Amino acid sequence: MENQNNDTVGMRLLEKGKRGIWRTVFSRGGMFTILLLIQLAVLISIFGFFSDFTAHYYIATIVLYGGTMMYLINSRINPTAKITWLVLIMLVPVFGVGMLIYTKADVGHRAVKARVEQLIAETDGLLCQNPAVADDLKKQSPETAALSNYINRAGCFPVYEDTYIKYFPQGEDKFDQLLIELEKAEHFIFLEYFIIDEGIMWGRVLDILARKASEGVDVRLMYDGTCEFTTLPHNYPKRLKALGINCKMFSPVTPFISTHYNYRDHRKIVVIDGHTAFTGGINLADEYINEYERFGHWKDTAIMLKGEAVKSFTLMFLQLWNVDEKEPEFRKFLEYPAENIRPARGFVIPYGDCPLDDEKVGEMVYIDILNRAQNYVHIMSPYLILDGETETALKFAAERGVDVSLILPGIPDKKTAFALAKTHYASLIEAGVKIYEYTPGFVHAKVFVADDIKAVVGTINLDYRSLYHHFECAAYMYGTDCIPDIESDFQNTLKKCTQITKNSIKNEKPGIKIAGKLLKVVAPLM
C-alpha cells in the first residue's frame, strides 16, 4: 500500500511541460531563423531610411569584413568553424560580425566560466593518481598510459583498476538495473541528465527518489535548462523540493541576453553512495526504453561501474552542482568507501569534457583510438557532423587497413542533422570506411570499441555540439571484462542495418543532397 501511494504522488507531480511552439522557437534552428529574420528587417530599415548613404554602407561593410577576416585567420577557432563564420559574415555582415563579437565576448557567461575553472582548480588534488596503477598500465600498454596522462592532465581524471563494469545494450536493460541500485541507496543519490520527461521511466525513478529522500538519503537532481521549454514546467525544482529532493536546472535558457544557451549540460550521470555509477546515452524519458515510439526502435547503451572509479563521476557531478553554492562540499562525498566486491580485470578512466577550456578531450580520445587501432574500430553514433580532424582520422585509419565501421540511424530524429551526415558519406566510403544505417529506427548510442581491448561508452556524439559546445562525460576502458559484450552488441546491431554504398549515395533524394550541401556551411552552428 505504501508503494502504491508513492507511485500516485510521483505521477501526480508529472505535469506536462511547455511543448509545441516553444520546442520549435527555442530549438537551434528556430533561434537561427529568428535572428536571420531580425537581420533582414534591420537591413530593410537601413536601406529605407538611409538610401542616400548606400555607398558608405558598402565601404564600411568591406572594411568590417576585411578586419574580421584577418581576425578569424589568426584566431584559434576550429578551421571548419572559421569557414562558417566567414561565409556568414559575407552573406549578412552586420548580423555575422555582431554574432561573432557576441559569441567571443561570452556575454553573461564569463562569471560561470570563472566559477567552473575555480572549482576544478580547487578540486585538483582530491583524486590522486595511484602510482602503482599508472605503472601497471604503462607495463601493459604504453600508448594507453600516454593517453591516460593526457586525460588526467586535462581534468584530474585518474586511471583505476579493480572496477567492475556492466554494459547495457538497451535502455530497458539499464532502467531495470537502475531501479535495483536506487533501492539500495543509504547515504546519497546524485543524478545529472540532459533530458527528463514525464512518463513511466521518470515516474518510477521519482517514486524511489521521493521515498529515499523521506528516509534521510541526500537526493540531488540536476537537469539541463532546455527542459524548461520542452518537457518540464518552470517551477519543477520547487515541486521536487516539496518531496525533499534538491533540484537544479543547469543554465536556464536565456538566448537573447546570454551565451549560456550555447553551452548545455549533455551529461548523463547517476552516483549512488559513492560506490555505484551509471553513464551512457540514455536520458530519463520513455522513448529511451521504447515505451514510447518517436523514431522507430530506439537503440541506446549505458554502463554501470562499481568500485573506485565511481569517485570520478562523483566529482564531476559536484563540480557543476556547486557552481552556485557559496560553501561547496566535495571531500565528504569522496570519502565514502567504494571498494568493488567483484573481481574485475583491466583499467577504466572516467572523464569529462568541459567547453569552457581549450581542451577537446572527447575528440582527442576518439582520435587516439582511431590513430592507434590495428584491426578494427567499430562506432555507434546518432550524428555525424565532423570537423576536419576527426574526418581525417577516420579516413586515415581505414586507409591503413583498419576495419572502420559506423552504425548511424536509419530513422533520424533531426532531418537537418541527417542531411549533414550524408555529406560525409562519399568521402569516407572512398577511403574505405564502412557506413551502416540502423533499419528499425534511431541509434542514440555513443560507443567506440577497438581491437577487442579498448572501448568508450558515454554521452559524446560525433558532432560539433558534443565535441565543442557541451559538458560531456564518458568512460575509457582498456582490457575490461565488458569489452567483448560491447563488440558483440555492435555485431548484433549490424545484422539489423543496411550498408551504404556508392550506388545508394547516388540514388539519395535530391532534396536531402541539396539540404546537406547548404547546411554544411553552417555545420559548426548545428
Could you give the C-alpha distances from 342 to 8, 163, 338, 456, in angstroms and in order? 37, 8, 12, 21
Question: Are 370 and 504 part of one and the same domain?
Answer: yes
Does 83 share its domain with 133?
no
What is the three-state SS of 111-131? HHHHHHHHHHHHCCCCCCCCH
Q: Write the CA distances from 260 to 87, 127, 247, 360, 470, integer angstroms.
A: 24, 29, 19, 19, 11
- Indicate if 165 and 191 belong to the same structural domain: yes
Does residue 269 share a domain with residue 170? yes
User: What pLDDT does residue 253 have?
Assistant: 63
65 band by pLDDT with thresholds 50, 70 and 90: confident
pLDDT at 10: 46
pLDDT for the residue numbered 177: 98
Residue 256 has pLDDT above 60, yes or no: no
Q: Between 322 and 28, whose confidence is greater?
A: 322
DSSP for 75-118, written as a single string: S-S-HHHHHHHHHHHHHSHHHHHHHHHHHHHTTTTHHHHHHHHH
Domain termination site, one of 324, 348, 372: 348
pLDDT at residue 113, as a whole number:
74
Q: Which residues fall within 8 angstroms of residue 410, CB to CB, at 6 or more apart?
A: 296, 437, 438, 439, 440, 441, 442, 443, 497, 498
Residue 426 has pLDDT above 90, yes or no: yes
How much of the chain, in percent, has pLDDT values that exceed 70?
Answer: 84
When pLDDT is averaged across residues 2-24 and rounded to a whole number, the result is 46
Q: Is the pLDDT of residue 216 over 60?
A: yes
State the pLDDT confidence band at 396, using cuts at 50, 70 and 90. very high
> What is the pLDDT confidence band of residue 409, given thresholds at 50, 70 and 90?
very high
pLDDT at 392 over 90: yes
What is the distance between the alpha carbons of residues 73 and 69, in angstroms, rounded to a whole number? 6
In a domain, 353, yes or no: no
Asked whether residue 484 falls in the same domain as residue 426, the answer is yes
DSSP string of 198-221?
SSHHHHHHHHHHHHHHHTT-EEEE
Mean pLDDT of the chain: 86
User: Could you tell me if 344 and 405 lie in one domain?
Assistant: no
Do 376 and 447 fall into the same domain? yes
Residue 525 has pLDDT above 60, yes or no: yes
Residue 2 belongs to a domain: no
Which stretch of 16-30, 48-62, 310-324, 404-418 has the lowest confidence by average pLDDT? Answer: 16-30
Domain end (from 320, 348, 376): 348
Looking at the predicted structure, is the pLDDT value of residue 140 above 90?
A: yes
Residue 277 belongs to a domain = yes
504 lies in some domain: yes
Q: Which amino acid is at 76?
A: R
pLDDT of residue 50: 58
Mean pLDDT across 55-73: 74
Total domains in the fold of the chain: 3
In this prediction, residue 105 has a pLDDT band, given cuts at 50, 70 and 90, of: low
Residue 30 has pLDDT above 60, yes or no: no
How far is residue 239's CA from residue 245's CA, in Å, rounded to a whole number? Answer: 9
Q: Which three cell numbers stand for residue 414?
A: 533531426
Whichever domain contains 393, its CATH number is: 3.30.870.10
Quote the CA–CA distance of 203 and 220 in Å, as a whole number: 16
Residues 167 and 310 in one domain: yes
Distance (Å, rounded) from C-alpha 194 to C-alpha 344?
30
User: In this structure, are 422 and 487 located in the same domain?
Assistant: yes
pLDDT surpasses 70 at 416: yes
pLDDT(341) > 80:
no
- Cell numbers placing 129: 593518481
Of the given ranges (76-85, 161-170, 257-266, 388-397), which has the lowest mean pLDDT?
Answer: 257-266
Q: What is the pLDDT of residue 286?
A: 97
Residue 5 included in any domain: no
Burial of 292 (0-12, 13-18, 19+ CB in 10 A): middle
Q: What is the pLDDT of residues 221-248, one digit of tens each?
A: 999 988 877 788 888 999 999 999 999 9
The answer to which of 60-64, 317-321, 364-368, 499-503 has the lowest mean pLDDT is: 60-64
Are residues 460 and 343 part of one domain? Answer: no
Same domain, 427 and 290: no
pLDDT of residue 2: 39
Q: Which domain holds residue 58?
A: 21-105
pLDDT score at 255: 47
Hunting for cell 563579437 — which residue is that? 101
Spatial distance between the Cα atoms of 86 and 388, rounded to a whole number of angstroms: 17
Please compute the mean of the pLDDT values over residues 376-384 and round it to a whole number.
98
pLDDT band of 108, cuts 50, 70, 90: low
Task: Output the pLDDT for position 254.
Answer: 54
Task: Give the residue, 260 or 293, on which the prediction is more confident.
Answer: 293
User: Looking at the predicted structure, is the pLDDT value of residue 471 above 70?
Assistant: yes
Mean pLDDT lowest among 136-150, 188-202, 462-476, 500-514: 500-514
In this structure, are 447 and 508 located in the same domain? yes
Q: 379's torsion region: left (phi>0), alpha (psi -120 to 50) or beta?
A: beta
